[in-house]
Amino acid sequence: MPKTPQAKYKSSDVMLRNNIQLTGKGEKTIILAHGFGCNQSMWRFMLPFLEKKYQVLLFDYVGSGNSDFSAYEAKRYQHLEGYALDIIEICDAFDLKDTIFVGHSISSTIGWIVAQQRPELFSKMVAVCPSPCFLNLNDEYQGGFEKQDLEGLIQLMDKDYIGWGNYLAPIVMGNDLSPIGPGMSEGDALVHELLSSFCATDVTYSKPFAQATFFSDYRSLLPEIFHPCLILQSSNDALVAVNVGKYTQSKLQDAELEIIEGNGHCLHMTHPMHVLNSMQAFL
């Protein structure tokens, strides 16, 4: 794969484009990268603890959250390499190297793309519920989904976007979608937050990201990653089974795998202290 060219953006341009927030006081920078359909606010449970020790960089991919949607390029963001370029340009604009990269879900793969293209940008990596491929391919690799089922899910985005969100949000969060009301639990509130995040983004931007997420296969990239990597896997994740975490660990050059007892695909929201403690021990 060819090297990505140096960024042509100034830090002020990138800051606006990717809605960058820089907080914390540490000498070392930690980059928090959100997953598909999410935004940087979903790291808020971990942020106060990380800020004490690190400079923390939060951002939204172009087409997500409060990014500058006018900067969206359809051809670029059809593939995960386009999202990886966001991270590369952020690092170049702020002259960041040897950072700690923390990616949730598909951002783990995006981070591996960056690590392969520009290895000097990261020193260590943390992958929260990662999957190099969501497809069931053969006896050796079962990513969790048949291609036709995922195609149906993508088609639902065009036909009934709200219905698509209502279906997917509870699966991702590992909690039923209960009515909004005074008796809501914290888990109920998180499902509604994720649903709101899904539905807040126009399908023009979210559908290409979904296709790049669910139909890609980056398993061949894993052996090329030499950075120390911590994989945090949920014991009960409807999107990424434990066997995928084990497969990913076995293919990376230097990886630890920790299974966290919990439901859902968003451990940084449902089990933030466990994720923090595991990261602290690893770092």
**Catalytic annotation, pick one of 237, 268, 271, 278:** 237
- Check 192, 227, 265, 268 and give the catalytic one: 265
Residue type present at position 68: D
d(CA 98, CA 30): 9
CB 221 within 8 A of CB 116: yes
Is 237 labeled as catalytic in the residue annotation?
A: yes
Sign of the alpha-carbon torsion through 39, 45, 50, 51: positive
Q: How far apart are CA 218 and CA 167, in angstroms?
A: 26
Instruction: Name the nearest CA neighbour of 45 among 58, 36, 26, 27.
Output: 58
Please confirm, yes or no, whether 34 is among the known catalytic residues: no
105 catalytic? Reply is: yes
**Sheet order of strands, 21-24 included:** 21-24, 55-58, 29-33, 99-104, 122-128, 229-236, 255-263
Report the C-alpha gap between 211 and 74 in whole angstroms.
Answer: 13
Question: What is the distance between the alpha carbons of residues 61 and 34, in angstroms, rounded to a whole number?
Answer: 8
Q: How is residue 190 written in tokens?
A: 């998180």
- Asked if 67 and 19 count as a contact pair (C-beta separation under 8 A), the reply is yes
Distance from C-alpha of 269 to C-alpha of 9, rounded to nearest angstrom: 32
Among 105, 197, 234, 278, which one carries the catalytic annotation? Answer: 105
Helices 161-173 and 147-159 cross at an angle (nearest 10°) of 130
Token pair belonging to 8 = 């042509």
Active site amino acids? 105, 237, 265
